[in-house]
Structure 1
């Protein structure tokens, strides 16, 4: 039986559409244009931030973050940004005695915003808070430190194969690939993903039965 389930954030717990929509509005381009570019660069194996550089070559993304915050358009997270299955699934997991952790590539501010939502989780941590990001092995070393369970009884759940599934498996964790969001759908049936994922799921609700196996 699994003892700990660790979940990614973007397109696992939260929808990214408003995030990218806000960037498009800030840069003064149609939302569809930026959304299409994000999908294109990720499909090519690049970081999704590369889409911003295509729209505005030479952009200093950190500086733009600060300008957005100063203009009252900084990071924001609310209940509507969560997928509908998040609270019921996390609640059911904890009621089943599973330790629930949220850990993804997010800013420290995003960590504060997530904690402010009072999610049914034992721990919420972000890459900026840990000082290391996926897919680096050090990130998954931190996951194992906070898991309080052996690697083979810890499950990492995410939508992005390169950031979530492959490095988590390399660290010895069990893995569940979530068919959600652009990356989750794009690579859902790729042979290497099918091989690397212990489970392939369409909803977080499926995790309760998986945890009992």
Structure 2
């Protein structure tokens, strides 16, 4: 998605961008609509005018985040390199943007209906991507119920566990070279599994 200068955004978009950044930094509960309006350089009354409530503002941010993710995935070409392309896009979307990463971490670690709903929409997206992968790599796929959860665990795990993973790594968890290596490892795991070769042998 092309970056747009905040000065060029509409008032509604400026409030949404400010909310995204503050929710990512502080969390939803700890962020007031007044703080969002101040960060956007606008009147607090405009939050109510554009979004109805703080919950409405949150819903708009969620929709925006999901649209950014979908936009990146939408342009993937269903060919023999789909797995690699999907891995690259997932690494970029869920790892390279610190604000998006922080927002997802804050939301998904909440115990709320909104966080469960956002995860459910991410899960639906994972199911759709697995259907695309199955069309390219063959009909015999993984467990249909659990495969989307497994895919999301691979992608979102480092995002949620960054603080405890970092002391065990020599480089930043989301450094470009670390993202690329982790993405390649995830692709190998999704395509072959840890011990997929045993299925064809007599150790199976």
TM-score above 0.5, yes or no: no
Greater relative contact order, per chain length (Cα 8 Å cut-off, separation 6+)? 1
User: Going by fraction, where is strand more abundant, 1 or 2?
Assistant: 1
Instruction: State the TM-score bracket (shorter-chain normalisation).
Output: 0.3 to 0.5
User: Going by fraction, where is helix more abundant, 1 or 2?
Assistant: 2
